[in-house]
Amino acid sequence: MTIVLRDYPPMAQDFMNREHEAFALLLNTAEQALLMGEPALPHLQALYEHSVHHFAHEEEEMQRYHFPPYPVHKAEHERVLGLFREHLTNFEATGDVTPVLEFLLETVPDWFGQHLKTMDRVTAQYLFQQKGDAA
């Protein structure tokens, strides 16, 4: 399932919008590589690395502005990164496309939509109230 970011309402923080757009592009590129039988590992690694950096950036902002539910949001990031690592490791070890493709086509888009509508929306609004819309 290709993610089209304009299908989701924008966040109150520009940095989150930019990083979510990059995530969607990387996810869609990795999906296409897998579906077309092209080398996908570099795309999957880039998606994972982007996620690590994006989550760290969000967490840094949450800590800087003392976001009360920070531990819950951070735990969700850690859970998702664990799933990414598990699928990446399995793909590297076996070359089996099916589990990683299912993860990217079904699990990640469902999670992404829910995460944006809930945790990220609340976080972005809190940050906006604390600092305004600064990158």
List the pLDDT tens digit at each of the 135 positions of the chain.
Answer: 677 777 788 999 999 999 999 999 999 999 999 999 999 999 999 999 999 999 999 999 999 999 999 999 999 999 999 999 999 999 999 999 999 999 999 999 999 999 999 999 999 999 999 987 654
Q: Which two three-digit tokens encode residue 110?
A: 């469902």
- Residue 7, pLDDT score: 79
- Residue 5, pLDDT score: 73
* CATH number for 35: 1.20.120.50
Cα distance between residue 63 and residue 43, in whole Å: 30
18 is a domain residue: yes
- Residue 3, pLDDT score: 78
- Residue 83, pLDDT score: 97
Q: How many domains does the chain have?
A: 1
DSSP per position, 92-118: HHH--HHHHHHIIIIIHHHHHHHHIII
- Residue 72, pLDDT score: 97
Give the single-character DSSP code of 133. S
96 is a domain residue: yes
Whole domain around residue 110: which residue ranges? 11-130
2 is a domain residue: no
For the full predicted model, state whether its pTM sits above 0.85: yes
1 is a domain residue: no
